[in-house]
Amino acid sequence: MKMKIFKKMSLIIVSMVLLITSITGCTSSTSAGGENKESKARKWKIGHVRPKGTVVDNDVTEFVNNVKEASDGLIEIEIYPSSQLGDYNVVQERVGMADIEMQLAPAGTNVDKSLGISSAPYLATNWDEARELFKRDGVLINAIEEKFEKQGIKVIASYPVYFGGIALAKEPKDPANLQVSQNMKIRVPGIKSYEATAEALGYMATPIPYAEAFTAMQTGIVDGAIGSGAEGYYSSFRDVTKCYLPLNDHFEMWYLYMSLDVWNDLSDDEKKMLEEIGLKLEEKRYETAEADQKEFENKLKEEGIKVIEFTDEELANFAKKVRETVWPEIKDEFGAELFDSVTENIK
């Protein structure tokens, strides 16, 4: 009899210990699908394309520090600036395979050319239009997020950078005149929209990889480059640039994203934390980006580079010409239905 009582007492004690352990020792939260995800120590890598100490690098550093603090040190992210992890297109593919956890970069088009819609020419001509175009839950952002997700990537935040222009190794003869050829060859990214835009603006387009663009300008293979803006040209091309044309030819939007596999392994609390910190990064960037653009245009001037100012009428003429001649040519590359839905209210 005593033995039975002892066994029952032992069973009760064991059960109570297991119950207490499950209550006090659990660090997981329940996901939307009902599955518990454990909060645990994680070490990630994040890459970006700008040199250490630049605006982009500082913003990434702030994001990384905020994540570490909000996660009580459980999530540590090591930063790799200056494309140390590889070209951003390659890194994007590696993020999709969970080989690298995160990146802040333009949308790469190696896997899906339609992601190039993010930088299609003259979708916006000023900062108010850009904010409306790329607003959260808008047609464009929703489409971009879906395209990234098909590559195994979760978008955390948008990162507005600048309006683009053309950097030249010599001054053009009549840059505001769309009726004449400038008779200058310029480097373009390997994206049809940039090539067509350069030609519409009076330049001869020569597709060259970004990594080779500096040398191409330096050696005279091309007379200039399109595809970046004042900050990008100052950071990487100021030694070969003599003249800058702020044409507002495209709006440069980058994305902070991470591996979808890594995202799915997070707890709900961790996901919420990353999205909130990402939103703060996005909102802060909108508050500072326009001023940064002006600052880098001034820095180009300080380097002795001539920045040619255009009137509102001249900028409107550039946009009108490209929208009329280039948009019909490129819309199928992005998906005609999507392109039409994004541009239907743009005049």
Stated pTM of the model = 0.84
Of the listed ranges 25-29, 120-124, 277-281, 305-309, the least confidently predicted one is: 25-29
Classified as helix, coil or strand, 96 is helix
Burial 230-267 (b: 16+ CB within 10 A, else e): bbbbbbbbbebbbbbbbbbbbbbbbbbbbbbebbeebb
pLDDT band at 29 (very low <50, low <70, confident <90, very high): very low
Strand ranges of the sheet holding 75-80, from the earlier edge strand across to the other edge: 75-80, 42-48, 102-106, 251-259, 153-163
pLDDT at position 240 over 80: yes
Q: Which domains does the chain have, with CATH numbers?
A: 38-112+135-160+253-288 (3.40.190.170), 165-251+294-343 (3.40.190.170)
Of the listed ranges 8-22, 79-93, 267-281, 300-314, the least confidently predicted one is: 8-22
User: What integer pLDDT is reported at residue 209 of this predicted model?
Assistant: 86
1-10, 47-56, 276-285 — most confident range = 276-285
User: What integer pLDDT is reported at residue 25 of this predicted model?
Assistant: 41
pLDDT band at 35 (very low <50, low <70, confident <90, very high): low
Among residues 247, 263, 256, which one has the least CA distance to residue 285?
256
User: What integer pLDDT is reported at residue 191 of this predicted model?
Assistant: 85
Number of helices (H) and strands (E) in the chain: give both, helices first. 13, 13
Pick 310 or 346 by higher pLDDT.
310
pLDDT at position 174 over 80: yes
Looking at the chain, the whole-number percentage of residues with pLDDT higher than 90 is: 82
pLDDT at position 27 over 90: no
Q: How many CB atoms are closer than 10 A to CB 288? A: 13
